[in-house]
A and B are shown apart, each in its own frame.
Chain A
C-alpha cells in the first residue's frame, strides 16, 4: 500500500430535496480492497455514480491520483483509469460476448471513422490487438469459450463475470464493482472472490459495494459503512463488526447474523 489513489472530500448529492449522499469523505489506498456496505438506500450506488461521473455532484470534491475529477465526463474519467460494473447488469445486448469486451478497449485504441471506413492498415493492426487483448480478459474470467455468443444469452452469473472482464479491458487502476455477488450462488461467489483477489494481485485497487456480508468480511481489507447517505463507520472488518452505530443501522435488517456484538 503506497499512498492514496482516490479521495473524496465532503461528497454530496441531492436529488430534488432528498440527500442521497451526505458530505462523505474517505480515502482509498492504492492496492487495497475497500468495501462499501450499508442498508438499502444508503447511497452506495449513488456514490459510484458520482465517482464515475454518471451523476453530477451537488457538492464536495473527488481526487484521483491528485487530479480533481469534478465535472469530468464519464468517458474521460474512464480513460484516466477508473472502471466500473453495474448493480443491474448493463451489457450491450446487441453484441457478442467478445465484442462487449472489445468495447472496453475503446480508449486503448485510437483509429477513427475515416480509418474504419477505408479499413486503413492502422485500423486493421489496432483491430488485431483489440481482439487479442479482449480474448485475454475473457480467459481471465473463464468465458473464452463463449466469445461468439450473444452477451445476454449467458446465464446471469456469467453476465456479471463478463461485466468485470469488460471493465478490466479498460486497464483501470481503480475497479469499482457494484454488488458483483448479487444473484450469484455460493460456488459462483467463491469464484468471484478468487477473481477479485487475483485482480488486486495484479495491482488494481478494488472498490466494492456489496450486500452479502459474509462475502465482504472475508474479502475486504477495509470497510466503509453508509447509512442514509452518511458515513457512519470506517475500519477493518473486525472494527466495523463491533461498531455500535453499525449494529444499530442494521438492526431490523434480515441479515444481521454477520454481526457478533
Chain B
C-alpha cells in the first residue's frame, strides 16, 4: 500500500512545495524592492536586464497561460486566438473606465473606486460568454475545429480593435486608463501592482492545480487521451470542452484587464494573431501538459528576450533586432530538441534522475 501511494503523494507534495516556493520567491523579491536592504534593488541582481516591469508582465501572461495549458495541454483543444480573449478583457476594462467617465455616463458611479473592478468582472463575463457561443457548436465535433474557429476569432477581433474608431481608439488605442484602488488605497506604484498581479497569478495556479487533480481534470485529460473512450465511460465531452474553453477565456480576460490597468494605455498590437502564436510558443516551451509550465514558459521567453536585447549587441558586434529574433528562435528550437515535452517535464525528469542517483 505504501508503495502504491508514493507516486500520488510525491506529485501532490511537489505541487504544494512549488506553490510555497513561488509565494516565497514573490514575497522576497517584493520585499527587496520595497526595503532595499543595503541599497540593493531587484534589478541589481539581474544586471538591470530583468526589471519589475518584466516581472509584472510575466505574472499577467502566466494567468493567460494557465488557462491555455488547461485547454490545450489537458483537454487537447488548440486555441490560436487566445490573445483575442486577452484583448476583449483589456478593451472592456479600458472602455468602461475611460469612456464612461469622459462622457459623463453614470456620474458618481463611474468615478468610484469599485467601478474598474466591476469592469474586470464584466470583461470576464463578456469574454466567457463569447467563448461559450463560439465553442458550443464547434466542440460537439471531434477533432480540432476549435483551432480554425479561434484563428478566425483572433483575426476578426484584431481588426475590430484596430478599426473601432472612437470606441477602441483605432491604432492609437485608449489612453488614460486609471490605476486600480481599494477604497482610497491605490494599488500603485509598481511594487504594489506587482503584489496584486502575483497574488492573483498564485491563486489561479492553485485553482488550476486543484482542477487538474480532480474528477473534472481527469475528464479533461480523458478527452485528450481518447475522446471515444471518454464518451463511452460517461464523460460528457462536449460539456467539458466548452467549460474549459470558457475558463481559459475568462482567465485571459482577467489578465487582459490587469494588463490595461498596468499600462494605463492599450493599443491593438499585443492582441494580434502574432501574440496568440507567441502564447503558443511560451506554452510549448514551458510544458503544455503542466500547470507549472505556465510561469516557467513565460519567464523563460521573457528572460531570453530581455537578455538578448540587453547583451546581444555586445557579443555580436552590430547585432540588431532581427539578429535577436534569430537567436531567440535558435534558443526555442534547442529547448524543444532537448526537452520536447517542455521545460517543466525536462526538469521533472532531471529531478527524478537525481532522486534515484
Contact = CB atoms under 8 A, between A and B. Distances in A.
Interface string B1-44: 00110111000000000000000000000000000000000000
A74 B215 contact: no
Nearest to A93: B225
B233 A104 contact: yes
Contact of B215 (A79, A91, A94, A127): A127
B133 interface: no
A111 B215 contact: yes
Contact of A75 (B6, B235, B289): B235
B131 to A, nearest CB: 14
Given A94-B289, A148-B6, A106 B232 contact: no
Interface stretch (B162-170, B190-198, B206-214, B294-302): B206-214
Interface size range of chain B in the complex = 20 to 34
Interface in B207-229: 207, 210-211, 214-219, 221-222, 224-226, 228-229
A126 B155 CA distance: 43
Contact of A145 (B4, B6, B207): B4
A148 to B, nearest CB: 3
B214 A103 contact: no
A170 B233 CA distance: 7
Given A123-B214, A127-B214, A94 B224 contact: yes
A147 interface: yes
A166 interface: yes
B210 A118 contact: yes
B235 A106 contact: yes
B231 interface: yes
A113 B243 contact: yes
B210 to A, nearest CB: 5
Contact of A92 (B7, B215, B216, B226): B226
A161 to B, nearest CB: 15
A96 B225 contact: no
A98 B6 CA distance: 13
Nearest to A111: B215
B4 A113 contact: no
B247 interface: yes
B207 A107 contact: no
B234 A95 contact: no
Interface in A89-115: 90-96, 98-99, 102-107, 109, 111-113
B210 A119 contact: yes
A28 to B, nearest CB: 18
Contact of B216 (A90, A94, A105, A112): A112
A18 interface: no
Interface string A206-220: 000000000000000
A113 B211 contact: yes
Nearest to B236: A75
Nearest to A131: B8
A91 B235 contact: no
A174 B7 CA distance: 33
A106 B219 contact: yes
A84 interface: yes
Interface string A54-87: 1000000000000000000111011100011010
A134 B262 CA distance: 47
B139 to A, nearest CB: 13
B69 interface: no
B228 A86 contact: yes
B334 to A, nearest CB: 25
A74 B6 contact: no
Contact of B234 (A94, A106, A116): A106
A148 B8 contact: yes
A117 interface: yes
B225 A94 contact: yes
26 contacts: A53-B231, A73-B236, A74-B228, A78-B233, A90-B229, A93-B226, A94-B289, A99-B221, A103-B219, A103-B230, A103-B233, A104-B233, A105-B215, A106-B215, A106-B234, A107-B234, A113-B247, A116-B214, A117-B207, A117-B210, A123-B215, A127-B214, A130-B215, A135-B4, A147-B7, A148-B7
The 3 closest A-B pairs by CB, nearest first: A92-B225, A148-B7, A116-B214
Interface of B: 3-4, 6-8, 207, 210-211, 214-219, 221-222, 224-226, 228-237, 243, 247, 289
Given A98-B8, A103-B230, 19 more contacts: A75-B232, A75-B235, A75-B237, A78-B234, A84-B232, A90-B226, A92-B226, A94-B224, A94-B225, A95-B225, A99-B218, A102-B215, A105-B215, A106-B215, A117-B211, A118-B210, A135-B4, A145-B4, A148-B8
